[in-house]
Structure 1
Amino acid sequence: MSVKKHLADITAALADTSIRPVKPRGSGSIGAPVQLAQFSAGYQQLEAELERRRASEGRALQVALNDLQPSPFQTGGIQDERVQALVRHLSENRLNTPIVIRRGSLGDGYEIIAGHHRVAAYRQLGRAQIEAVLLDVDDEEARALVFFDNLMAPDLSDYHKYLGFAQLKKATGMTVEALARKSGVSKSQIASLLSFERLPVEALALIEQAPHTVGAKLAEELGKWAQERPQAVTQAVQQVVQGQLKQAQALNWVTGAVRERAQADAPVVIRRGRQLFAQLQGRGAQLTLKFASEAHRQQLQDRMEQWLREQANQADV
């Protein structure tokens, strides 16, 4: 068997890609790190383990769809477009790759490890059974296999990648460094994905409804404002989800909303005799100074600059 064919077979065992090849997203958010994941040591170990188990634990068997249940570790949602593509394909062709299952944790039926979309397509087609490979794996192994299956899924949203990494991190206590070694994804990418957890609960609920609308880059930027201005961050996310703001505009909207909320001080009017000389007004960290004429401004600008530099040199911080 060629190396190319061997890698293709291994990938098919984990990824539900009967219709489309896996490819990175190009939307500006973090794309599915397929190339990195395939060659990471941790991922190669999981691939080899799956192949070993498939060889040692028997051939594929026919399982009733009514006996199947989603994995409790499944974080990626079912994408209807992907299911419909599988329906069209499987109505004319046989299933190329069996799904992967394990016995249910409650002792009844089976949990799907890989193949949620294929099962959904079979149900729409009215099929009663589906071909499956049964693995004997514990929760930790099942969680890892489901996680990598989701990670390799085409067009997986950054939000669902975050859910997978967050679940694995919480369940295992792994650090970002350990997650990077395990998945082959860089530490900076994982840290960016985990920025979702800094967003307000209300914002995450909005993203849950349309997970592809908010990428990890925006989550990272908004997360810096979430504690100080949670309401503004949530409003920005809502506008992005509803299509009223582009992701690139959301941060500027939040910072603009913050500036608007700053209370303006009462203006201070300075007169020379009865004539207006200048007016000062503070708003947050800003101080606006208006002169009655350009000549007045020119007379004092150099002196003001020198005074400000002196103050800066004398400041404690």
Structure 2
Amino acid sequence: MSANPVKVNKDNATATKPLSKAALAMMQKSESNYHGTAEQREADLESTAVLDKERERAKGGKGAKLLPMELIDPSPFQPRQRGSAGFSDNEIASLAEAIAKQGFGLLNAIIVRPSTRAEGRFELIAGERRVRAFRLLNRAEIPAIVKEMDDQDAAAAALVDNEERVQLTQYEIAHSFKRYEECFPGTPAAEIARRFHQDIRLVYRCEYFWKLPSEVLDLLDKNPALLQASYAEKFSLLCDKHPQGETFVIEALKQVNDGLNDSDPEKEKFTLSHAKKQVERQIKGVERKPPAPKVSLFVDGVDKPVASMTRSKRNITLSLDRIVDPARFEKWLQENLKGALLELAYEKQGT
């Protein structure tokens, strides 16, 4: 008499996975050869199934195999690799501790593809944090699933994997777009949006990051959350509005960054909105035309100016002191100014 398969929980729509060869062999034992009650036999079968699941889990899931760590190369499409803020030591240490406590290793295997640069090696697609944690634990092997994947799919998969596990900043997403465009020049924005599962408006706005001054990009490398793509657009336009725009933007964003690093809760934060308004005021201030210089006119025997004169591009303004009679001065101008103007006009025509 053959044993019944492992019992299926009727309250659960999902049946138990097929048993291992050892479990099936046990099922084929007759009752005369099995020394134990029916309940014990059923418990043994269930224990075998659990052990099989744990062994599969230790390998990182179905379809995974153990790969030597030394054969895995980093992904060129990793969104978080640029700048010191990509992966924090605390973040990796915490993950390593969690993996060590599990006893069986990873719950999810990393994903790699055969390297296009070196035979026998693999390029990481998804699982950068897990690889770093395994290296921290000095593990020689890591559970991995090997997939055939072209560069376009590999780039998109790296971004999707990061977004599922950590909240990427828009600056980090912009780096993924940029690397993709560098690898595949001429790719339309709509195609990039489709492959990366992003709004096409974000694709366009992320371009403004690369129009910001290099000093601002240095700040973003250290703190990718400093500003979003919408503010990258606003500050980029302010940089172009005036020759001193870049200087004002750099100063303002440094103030924002300093405020983010300041742990004093009582201190009012200098926000991006404050920075934008400050730059706008500064640009407006330098755009105002300086007042025309004033020239004071003196005459012999009088110790103070009898008139002052200012000149703009094509206008001359004359202001008289109270000691000068305006009517007599006007008459004098009419009598003497005509000849002088006529002479100047002839000189200009002659040149």
TM > 0.5 between the two? yes
Determine the structure 2 residue equivalent to 1:67.
Answer: 71
Q: 2:106 aligns with which of 89, 95, 113?
A: 95
The 3-state SS of whatever aligns with 1:91 is helix
Alignment of structure 1 residues 127-142 onto 2, 5 Å? 127-142=139-154
Q: 2:202 aligns with which of 175, 185, 189?
A: 189
How far off its partner does 1:87 sit?
1.8
Once the two structures are superposed, residues 190-229 of structure 1 have per-residue CA deviations (whole angstroms, 9 ceiling, x without a partner) of 2223321221223212211111122222112112112232
Q: 2:94 aligns with which of 85, 90, 96?
A: 85
Alignment of structure 1 residues 26-175 onto 2, 5 Å? 59-77=63-81, 78-80=86-88, 81-93=90-102, 94-107=105-118, 109-172=121-184, 173-175=186-188
Aligned partners of 1:195, 1:67: CA distance in 2, in Å? Answer: 38
Q: Does 1:252 align with 2:277?
A: yes
Determine the structure 2 residue equivalent to 1:38.
Answer: none
Aligned partners of 1:97, 1:132: CA distance in 2, in Å? Answer: 9
Alignment of structure 1 residues 135-284 onto 2, 5 Å? 135-172=147-184, 173-228=186-241, 229-243=245-259, 245-262=270-287, 264-266=289-291
Stretches of structure 2 that go unaligned for 5 or more consecutive residues are 1-60, 261-269, 295-309, 313-351
Aligned partners of 2:73, 2:193: CA distance in 1, in Å? Answer: 30
User: 1:240/1:212 Cα in 2 relative to 1: closer, same or farther (>3 Å)?
Assistant: same
**Number of aligned pairs?**
217
Higher-Rg structure is 2
Residues 111 and 125 in structure 2, CA contact (< 8 A), matched pair in contact too: yes
How far off its partner does 1:147 sit?
3.0
Aligned partners of 1:238, 1:253: CA distance in 2, in Å? Answer: 13
Residues 215 and 250 in structure 2, CA contact (< 8 A), matched pair in contact too: yes
Aligned partners of 2:194, 2:167: CA distance in 1, in Å? Answer: 23
Residues 199 and 222 in structure 1, CA contact (< 8 A), matched pair in contact too: yes
Residues 156 and 196 in structure 2, CA contact (< 8 A), matched pair in contact too: no
Aligned partners of 1:253, 1:175: CA distance in 2, in Å? Answer: 36
TM-score (norm 2): 0.55
Stretches of structure 1 that go unaligned for 5 or more consecutive residues are 1-54, 270-279, 283-317
The 3-state SS of whatever aligns with 2:291 is coil
Once the two structures are superposed, residues 53-86 of structure 1 have per-residue CA deviations (whole angstroms, 9 ceiling, x without a partner) of xx9xx93111122222211122223422432331
* Amino acid of the structure 2 residue aligned with 1:84: A
Which structure carries more relative contact order (alpha carbon 8 Å, separation 6+)?
A: 1
The 3-state SS of whatever aligns with 2:239 is coil
Determine the structure 1 residue equivalent to 2:319.
Answer: none
RMSD: 2.9
How far off its partner does 1:248 sit?
2.2
The structure 1 segments of at least 4 consecutive aligned residues displaced by more than 4 Å after TM superposition are none
Residues 169 and 175 in structure 1, CA contact (< 8 A), matched pair in contact too: no
Aligned partners of 2:72, 2:219: CA distance in 1, in Å? Answer: 30
Aligned partners of 2:254, 2:223: CA distance in 1, in Å? Answer: 10
Aligned partners of 2:122, 2:197: CA distance in 1, in Å? Answer: 30
How far off its partner does 1:239 sit?
2.3
How far off its partner does 1:150 sit?
3.1
Residues 159 and 196 in structure 2, CA contact (< 8 A), matched pair in contact too: no
Determine the structure 2 residue equivalent to 1:295.
Answer: none
Aligned partners of 1:72, 1:214: CA distance in 2, in Å? Answer: 24
The 3-state SS of whatever aligns with 1:242 is helix
**Structure 1 residues 93-102 or 64-73, which shifts more?**
64-73
Once the two structures are superposed, residues 246-301 of structure 1 have per-residue CA deviations (whole angstroms, 9 ceiling, x without a partner) of 222221121122234346522689xxxxxxxxxx9x9xxxxxxxxxxxxxxxxxxx
